Amino acid sequence: MRTETINKNDGNQRLDKYMSKRFKTMPQSLLYKYIRNKCVKVNGVHGKENTYVNAGDIITYYISDEFFVKKASDFTALKPNIIVAYEDENILIADKPAGVSVQPDEKQENNTLIDNIKAYLFKKGEYDPQTENSFSPALCNRIDRNTSGLVISAKNAEALRLMNGIIKEREIEKTYLAAVHGILSKKEDTLTMFLEKKQGENIVKVHKKSGADTKTAVTGYKVIAETGDMSLLEIRLITGRTHQIRATFSAIGHPLLGDGKYAVNKEDRKKGYNFQQLCSYSVEFKFKTDKGVLNYLNGKKITAKTPDFIKLFE
């Protein structure tokens, strides 16, 4: 038998969801078996899958000791390497350089952006994995490995819940900067495409009409500079789809400089542009409803450092 007290970062969630985060090595089938067999009590009462746990609740477990062993976290040994664009007690917005994965993937398992955020907060004494039961700082949005710019993370569970809702309800305006090939005939426009994600290929296909497997992608843009056969765009995402910007502008004949996934970038590589020249440049919070502990963010705008490709237009 073991007991633990739910802290504020673990409260206000279902028992099964909490245990899934708490016991990462426990098979889901076994987790639900323990609950069904009344091996978990909440404040002395047998818990059910949908029992909500809150800060201060006492959980009693009658389960194998092996699941309580906490492994050392790799990130604690990292020397944090992040650019902080904005930070307060609830969120941290990092300015990610191109070439860094936001989280572990097939190209980068360690030293990712989230690893460095955790290491940064660990060194500051704001996060200790040994004292948290299930919560760890988490990303609220993601950008491609070779896209630079702003990524929002939450420092606590309440901020994570609220920020995920803000993004889902589109109460945040994201602006990108991109260098694209060619001179656009329309200097300002809103483009609507239908994107089909190709499973297992990490690519999307653009369609002119909606289909059973497509998602609508709406992108606003404005040309802010031109030089030779290149244009600098300010882009506003009205929807947020995988590779939305890259696929959309390739489809209208203006692929991003350096993009080898949605265009042939042989000539771009010769000039030193080996990946898409795209930056998640700014985020502005525009709340329509009450956001609790994050209300102070309403109207705040955060910007990234100016990307290097801007120099092409100076």
Contacts of 124 (CB under 8 A, 6+ apart): none
Closest CA to 149 of 166, 167, 174, 120: 174
What does the alpha-carbon distance between residue 130 and residue 218 come to, in Å, rounded to a whole number? 43
Element (H, E) at 288: none
Dihedrals phi, psi of 215, to nearest 5 degrees: -125, 140
* 11 within 8 A of 53, measured Cβ to Cβ: yes
Strand partners, 267: none
The answer to whether residue 95 is catalytic is no
CA–CA distance, 237 with 249 (Å, rounded to integer): 13
3-state secondary structure 2-29: EEEECCCCCCCEEHHHHHHHHCCCCCHH
Spacing of C-alpha 46 from chain mean position = 36
Pick the catalytic residue from 144, 189, 229, 290.
144
Give catalytic residues, as residue numbers: 144
